[in-house]
Chains A and B, each alone.
Chain A
Amino acid sequence: MSGNGSHPRHALDPMIHTPVRLSIMAALAAADKVEFRFLRDTIEVSDSLLSKHMLTLEESGYVRVEKAFVGKKPGTWYFLTPTGREAFQAYVATLEKIMKGTPDA
């Protein structure tokens, strides 16, 4: 949570409220687990930028990583942790609150 004001926007989680991390969290919230390449191609970011954001989310405890081999190719899968899922639900609830309060948001 950020800020001390009463407007609901102050309650938006800064860990999620950035374009790339928002897309990552939205994808992970809609699935059980998602592979790195799917995220990279769907969000249209470079490997390095995605890795950087994934590390940030992992360090915050929102995302868990699992490495697995598909044949000879390594694959990296991501899941939301219960904390991450809870944080994303709270984030969406805050967005909806903002939208209800300010029709032009």
Chain B
Amino acid sequence: MDDHDLSADQALREIGRMRREVRRSENWAGRLFLVAGLAVILYWTAMFLLPDPAPAIAAVLWVALTGASFVYAVRQGVQGAEYRRLEWPVTFAWLATMVGAVLFGGFLLPDEPAGWWVAAALAVALCTAVPPLWAAWWLLRRKAER
């Protein structure tokens, strides 16, 4: 493109193109929250309800997933404004639900849960997924609307 040939129409089209490129690249955060939300349900279900060695395997996989997520996140070339706005509130809400799950598993859940305890354990596992799944829905829905 030549500097002197840039018309208003071309300029607006280029702005639209860059906007689309940036927003396509921003989707990583929504996908990451989605994976984290689904993974945390499996993690707590394994920790609460499955026999050995499932909890140990879940813990190792969780640490690996956390590490991989961190590497994936820092390698992205775009950080969206929505992601930045949600990042800390969602992190704190998620941390609170995770602490709640730890306390539930450590102090309330019997060693061999049965009946309503199984339902309660599954409900707690689902609760821990609410913050990341909500963030994923919010970010990906906004992308779909654009």
Which A residues lie at the B interface, using CB under 8 A?
9, 17-19, 22-23, 26-27, 29-35, 37-39, 42-43, 70-71, 77, 92, 95-96, 98-99, 102, 105
Contacts and interface: CB of A to CB of B under 8 A. Distances in A.
B11 A22 contact: yes
B134 interface: no
Contacts of B7: 105
B14 A31 contact: no
A77 B76 CA distance: 11
A9 B14 contact: no
Contacts of B8: 9, 95, 98-99, 102, 105
Given A17-B6, A18-B3, A38-B25, A31 B11 contact: no
A46 to B, nearest CB: 15
Tell me which of A23, A31, A39, A96 has the highest count of chain B C-beta atoms within 10 A of its own C-beta: A31
Interface of B: 1-3, 6-9, 11-12, 14-15, 17-19, 21-23, 25-26, 74-81, 83-84
Nearest to B12: A95
B49 to A, nearest CB: 37
Given A98-B8, A99-B8, A27 B22 contact: yes
Contacts of B2: 19
A31 B23 CA distance: 8
Given A22-B11, A22-B14, A31 B78 contact: yes
Given A31-B78, A70-B75, A99 B14 contact: no
Nearest to B77: A38
A43 B3 CA distance: 15
29 contacts: A17-B6, A17-B11, A19-B1, A22-B6, A22-B11, A22-B14, A22-B15, A23-B14, A26-B14, A26-B17, A27-B18, A27-B22, A29-B15, A30-B18, A31-B80, A32-B80, A32-B81, A34-B77, A34-B79, A35-B77, A38-B77, A42-B18, A42-B21, A43-B18, A71-B74, A92-B12, A99-B12, A105-B7, A105-B9
A96 B74 CA distance: 36
